Amino acid sequence: MRKMFGIYLITFIQIVSSCGQKAEPETYLIPSNFTGEINILFKQNGVPYKDKNKYGRDTTYTPALGKPPKYENGRRVYEIPSDGILLTQFTPNPGFTDTKYFSVDSNGKRTLL
């Protein structure tokens, strides 16, 4: 009984600590004339890695080379291209985050959305 309580306690602590994870603040810069869906592909660093394909065979994948990480005032900056598909070298940013979205015109003027 005591062993089971310990297992439940450890599981509870892990769940609570992961729920409170704080991510880096983020800023999204979206072209002012953009309409549609935005997709962000993380870990696009051009470094090949091995994985198993859907048939269980070893396969080497080489991701595209995305934009290098960019920060402004301690915030991650995602500059969304006109096609809405951003390839970035950032890793995913899980947890609760402070996110700001801006519309950016052709002169670079930002408007908070």
The single residue listed with the structure tokens 């089971």 is 4
Torsion over CA: 40, 92, 89, 52 (sign): negative
CA atoms of 36 and 43, how far apart (whole Å): 23
Tens of pLDDT, residue by residue over 27-70, are: 999 999 999 999 999 999 888 888 888 898 998 888 889 999 99
What is residue 63's predicted lDDT score, i.e. its pLDDT? 84
What is residue 73's predicted lDDT score, i.e. its pLDDT? 95
What is residue 110's predicted lDDT score, i.e. its pLDDT? 94
CA atoms of 111 and 113, how far apart (whole Å): 6
What is residue 30's predicted lDDT score, i.e. its pLDDT? 96
Whether 11 has a pLDDT exceeding 60, the answer reads no
What's the whole-model pTM score?
0.72
Tens of pLDDT, residue by residue over 78-95, are: 999 999 999 999 999 988
CA atoms of 86 and 106, how far apart (whole Å): 18
CA atoms of 3 and 101, how far apart (whole Å): 48
Residue ranges of domains in the chain: 23-112
